[in-house]
């Protein structure tokens, strides 16, 4: 099994080589890709492939494929939201302008397909290649549908809509990552378990992210206190807080929702939200999806790589940033 740092290093080396051309669009494409990131999706590709008996180095390009597509979506998402920073650096459209940022995102999307064909298992087997390309197309479509849902939410928060949005916008690329791993080994019989693992992994990731966006420690998250509340995001933790709060606190939450306030006022509101035990409410929901993810993982190989996948999904629950 590859060491985690070695996986990340080899993915970064492959990405750097792919984006080394001396053109503005390549510079804009490198800007966010090489600025950091957790590389959870590439790690999932490699670990699933290894858990089923493969050599992780054989799927580094395929693992990088998901990271390329992920960054394509981030660049376009930042343009839609007009965000200024991501991963501690100016967003691509702020650094290079909107036209070049759009082009950079398009390039990363195209390179995501190229990277599949650079991966040994998919180069040598047409059926594996077809499955991988079909999955990439399918889940990028899902992701685009999720983005549409995100920018046009219903007037009133709806739990079912929220979870459908998460599945499409967040889970999609984790499902793709797990599928790359099983397709690379030709284990088409396991695609249902791969999709189930990736779907639940994504839901856990997003629920934790949304919890941190409400009550996370700004010194750790590197975001303003109550960041999602300030921005008026429609997340489950925020709406659970609104539902649980008494009349006075509910009014205070709504007074800053999507409008913001100075840090002292926001800290007071967030501290009062914490006292509602919102964190435990959300984690109770997360544990349901965690059990589903672990159940699927029981069918995805064995050994150290499978154990690492287990650690990855369990680690999401307690992450602080």
Taking the chain (321 residues) in consecutive chunks of 10 residues, what is each chunk's mean pLDDT?
97 97 96 92 98 98 98 94 86 95 97 95 95 97 95 90 97 98 98 98 97 91 88 94 95 92 92 96 97 98 97 92 78
Predicted pLDDT at 9: 97
Predicted pLDDT at 270: 95
Predicted pLDDT at 73: 95
Predicted pLDDT at 94: 95
Predicted pLDDT at 223: 83
The rounded distance, in Å, linking the Cα atoms of 73 and 78 is 9
Number of Cβ within a 10 Å radius of residue 201: 29
Q: What's the first-to-final CA gap in the chain, in angstroms?
A: 27
Contact 96, 104 (CB under 8 A): yes
The rounded distance, in Å, linking the Cα atoms of 301 and 197 is 13
Predicted pLDDT at 88: 82
Predicted pLDDT at 87: 86
Distance (Å) of CA 49 to CA 11, 144, 302, 303: 15, 27, 11, 12
Residue 188 DSSP symbol = G
Strand partners of residue 85: 90
Contact 91, 84 (CB under 8 A): yes
**Single pTM value for the model:** 0.95
Q: What are phi and psi of 125, to 5 degrees?
A: -145, 110
Predicted pLDDT at 177: 98
Predicted pLDDT at 31: 94
Predicted pLDDT at 243: 95
Q: Helices marked H in 118-235 — which ranges?
A: 120-123, 126-151, 159-166, 172-184, 191-215, 218-221, 227-231
Helix (H) or strand (E) holding 85: strand 85-86
Distance (Å) of CA 168 to CA 8, 27, 171, 202: 26, 30, 6, 9
Strand partners of residue 89: 86
Contact 81, 67 (CB under 8 A): no
Distance (Å) of CA 303 to CA 109, 271, 316: 33, 43, 21
H/E/C letters for each residue in 10-46?
Answer: HHHHHHHHHCCCCCHHHHHHHHHHCCCCCCHHHHHHH
């Amino acid at each position: 099994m590859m060491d985690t740092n070695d996986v990340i290093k080899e993915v970064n080396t492959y990405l750097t080589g792919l984006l080394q051309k001396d053109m503005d669009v390549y510079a804009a494409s490198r800007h966010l890709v090489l600025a950091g990131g957790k590389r959870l999706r590439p790690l999932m590709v490699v670990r699933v492939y290894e858990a089923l008996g493969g050599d992780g180095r054989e799927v580094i390009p395929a693992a990088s494929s998901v990271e390329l597509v992920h960054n394509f979506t981030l660049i376009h998402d930042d343009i839609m939201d007009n965000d200024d920073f991501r991963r501690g650096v100016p967003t691509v459209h702020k650094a290079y302008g909107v036209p070049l940022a759009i082009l950079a995102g398009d390039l990363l999307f195209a390179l995501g397909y190229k990277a599949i064909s650079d991966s040994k298992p998919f180069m040598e087997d047409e059926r594996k290649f077809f499955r991988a390309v079909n999955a990439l197309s399918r889940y990028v479509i899902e992701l685009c549908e999720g983005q549409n849902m995100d920018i046009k939410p219903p007037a009133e928060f709806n739990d079912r809509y929220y979870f459908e949005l998460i599945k499409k916008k967040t889970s999609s690329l984790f499902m793709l990552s797990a599928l790359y791993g099983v397709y690379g080994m030709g284990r088409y019989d396991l695609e249902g378990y791969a999709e189930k693992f990736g779907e639940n992994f994504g839901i856990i990731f997003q629920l934790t992210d949304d919890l941190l966006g409400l009550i996370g420690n700004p010194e750790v998250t590197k975001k303003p206190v109550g960041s999602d509340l300030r921005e008026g995001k429609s997340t489950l933790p925020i709406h659970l807080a609104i539902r649980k709060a008494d009349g006075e606190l509910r009014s205070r939450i709504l007074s800053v929702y999507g409008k913001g306030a100075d840090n002292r006022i926001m800290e007071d509101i967030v501290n009062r939200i914490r006292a509602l035990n919102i964190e435990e409410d959300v984690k109770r929901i997360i544990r349901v999806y965690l059990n589903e993810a672990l159940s699927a993982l029981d069918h995805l190989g064995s050994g150290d790589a499978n154990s690492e996948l287990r650690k990855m999904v369990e680690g999401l629950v307690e992450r602080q940033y």
